[in-house]
């Protein structure tokens, strides 16, 4: 019975995986780079993040996800010049005075990588993507970034643990099992110290055609996924900022999802937030920054669907490192 339940979950998530470019993350609020390659190199330091997500805790065969991301800028004029708008080392990028004195970033390049693995039931999905972005100031305090990503995705199905009536079942030899698939994405990111707007798409290659029984059959690499997001920073006083934002996502053959988020940040030291995803979950988030090197964030999701009765919620934790941090900032200057 245990194998049967795991198998059913695996089949469901396998179907969903064709409509989802990466496993779901609540912590995209802390790391929008996961969804949009245009954020490559958006800050003046090397941004490293390690994440772990345990979805639907207590449910046998439920998804678990691990990922690592690295993003860094290229260009001495950006990394070392005063255009970063810092008056001194350790200056708070979430303060009202920083926002008022900000000037657009010097044109520069950014590069990065994202490695991710997700296991759900008998299915494991692994991906590796390289990213590139170009950042350009289009006004005194507004920047536009254009980015692209390219990599591979490997979807494997552990059919050895499946109990079937016949070993010749097509499920064991299906063409989409255990194959590498190319992955290409594109993104735009418009940002200032007070607002951001972004749009991105992944799995742009869509599907490929093969000949089976003298007929052309379309096999999906994975369905294209489209994202749109925006947010605005509101200062309640000099050191407290409130940031409402939203994320809309659409996966082919799946209903559209909309996340509504609200985040409160105190100076550049810690923040708390909440998020609601339609027909799915309500989330609580928190994070804090340690000196100018380490930051940590945690989120807990409670399902609002029928799944709530069979699991104990979803946990996600992200550990970040700010390397080569010349200005010794505690958090991202574009943190939303």
pLDDT for the residue 195? 92
Cα–Cα dist 322/49, whole Å: 9
- Which pLDDT band, with edges at 50, 70 and 90, does 65 fall under? very high
State how far the alpha carbon of 335 is from the alpha carbons of 12, 271, 287, 329, in Å.
35, 11, 12, 12
- Domain locations in the chain as residue ranges: 41-323
pLDDT for the residue 32? 92
Q: What is the pLDDT of residues 276-315, one digit of tens each?
A: 998 889 999 999 988 888 999 999 999 888 777 788 889 9
CB atoms within 10 A of CB 264: 14
The secondary structure of residue 295, as a DSSP letter, is: E
Q: What is the pLDDT of residues 100-126, one digit of tens each?
A: 777 777 788 999 999 999 988 778 889
What is the biggest distance separating any 2 CA atoms in the chain, rounded to whole angstroms?
71
pLDDT higher than 80, residue 237: yes
pLDDT for the residue 78? 65
Higher-scoring residue by pLDDT: 200, 98: 200
Closest CA relative to residue 70, chosen from 6, 134, 114, 129: 114
**pTM of structure:** 0.82
* CATH number belonging to the domain at 41-323, selected among 2.40.160.40, 3.30.43.10, 3.30.70.260, 3.30.70.60: 2.40.160.40
């Amino acid at each position: 019975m245990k194998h049967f339940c795991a198998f059913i979950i695996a089949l469901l998530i396998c179907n969903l995986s064709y409509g989802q470019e990466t496993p779901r993350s609540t912590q995209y609020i802390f790391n929008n780079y996961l969804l949009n390659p245009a954020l490559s190199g958006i800050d003046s330091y090397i941004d490293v993040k390690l994440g772990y997500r345990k979805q639907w805790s207590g449910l046998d065969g439920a998804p678990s996800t691990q990922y690592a991301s690295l993003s860094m800028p290229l260009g001495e004029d950006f990394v070392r010049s005063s255009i970063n708008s810092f008056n001194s080392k350790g200056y708070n990028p979430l303060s009202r005075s920083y926002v008022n004195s900000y000037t657009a970033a010097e044109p520069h390049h950014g590069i990065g990588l994202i490695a991710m693995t997700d296991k759900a039931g008998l299915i494991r999905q692994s991906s590796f993507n390289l990213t590139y972005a170009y950042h350009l100031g289009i006004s005194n305090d507004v920047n536009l970034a254009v980015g692209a990503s390219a990599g591979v995705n490997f979807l494997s199905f552990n059919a050895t643990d499946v109990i079937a009536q016949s070993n010749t079942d097509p499920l064991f030899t299906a063409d989409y099992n255990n194959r590498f698939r190319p992955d290409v994405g594109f993104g735009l990111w418009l940002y200032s110290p007070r607002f951001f707007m972004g749009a991105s798409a992944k799995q742009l290659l869509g599907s490929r055609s093969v000949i089976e029984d003298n007929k052309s059959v379309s096999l999906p690499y994975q369905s294209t996924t489209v994202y749109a997001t925006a947010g605005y920073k509101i200062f309640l006083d000099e050191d407290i900022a409130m940031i409402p934002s939203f994320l809309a996502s659409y996966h082919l053959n799946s209903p559209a999802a909309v996340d509504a988020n609200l985040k409160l940040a105190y100076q550049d030291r810690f923040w708390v937030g909440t998020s609601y995803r339609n027909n799915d979950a309500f989330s609580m988030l928190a994070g804090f920054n340690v000196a100018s090197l380490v930051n940590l964030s945690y989120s807990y999701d409670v399902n609002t669907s029928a799944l709530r009765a069979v699991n104990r919620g979803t946990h996600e934790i992200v550990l970040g490192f700010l390397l080569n941090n010349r200005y010794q900032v505690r958090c991202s200057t574009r943190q939303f």
